[in-house]
Amino acid sequence: MFEWKNEYSVNIQSVDTQHKILFSLAAELNAAMAKGQGSKTLSSVLDRLLNYTEAHFADEEKLMAKYRYPRLAVHKDEHDALTKKVRKLREEMVRGNSLLTIDVMDFLQNWLTKHIQNSDMHYAEHINARAAA
């Protein structure tokens, strides 16, 4: 489900490396859920995924600002929306009001791949063109 493919490459090594780590963390979360591991384990893995995602988003946003990507604000809004949704999911899990489900994992997988293949590819084209100039 969470497998890195070369088609996800944005041709920016640092970003691709971070994306691969995000896929790995999401795969770890999915495996923990599939094995029926307890909420403590799931919360721990979800925390690591969330923390890494936030750090990755900050790095991407700095890179976009450096190269004056014109859609930075829109891209940041996408980042903020996902972060908010995952934080809420995590809070509900801690309170015992929510469980990780296949639907949640499908959402994360779809968001991750679609965000990379659409939004990230757009800023990468802009940055790669400017860096080559």
Could you give the 3-state DSSP secondary structure of residue 87? helix
Q: What is the mean pLDDT of the chain?
A: 89
pLDDT tens digits, one per residue of 26-38: 998 888 888 887 6
Task: Answer yes or no: is 2 within a domain.
Answer: no
Residue in the structure block whose two tokens are 């971070």: 18
The verdict on residue 81 lying in a domain is: yes
User: Is 1 a member of any domain?
Assistant: no
This model's pTM is above 0.85: yes
Residue 84 forms part of a structural domain: yes
Q: In sequence order, what are the residues at sequence separation of 6 or more whose Cβ sits closer than 8 angstroms to the Cβ of residue 102? A: none
CATH assignment at residue 74: 1.20.120.50
| Residue 9: pLDDT band with limits 50, 70, 90 | very high
Q: Is residue 5 part of a domain?
A: no
What is the rounded average pLDDT of the residues 71-82? 95
How many residues appear in the chain? 133
Structure tokens at 54: 């936030």
Residue 94 has pLDDT above 80, yes or no: no
Residues spanned by the domain of 127: 12-132
Per the structure, the count of domains in the chain is 1
pLDDT of residue 64: 97
Where b means 16+ CB within 10 Å and e means fewer, 75-98 reads bbebbeebeeebeebbeebeeeee
Let me know if residue 29 belongs to a domain: yes
Interval 94-116 mean pLDDT: 82
| 99 within a domain of the structure (yes/no) | yes
- What tokens were used for 101? 């489900």
Return the closest-CA partner of residue 28 out of 97, 100, 93, 116.
100
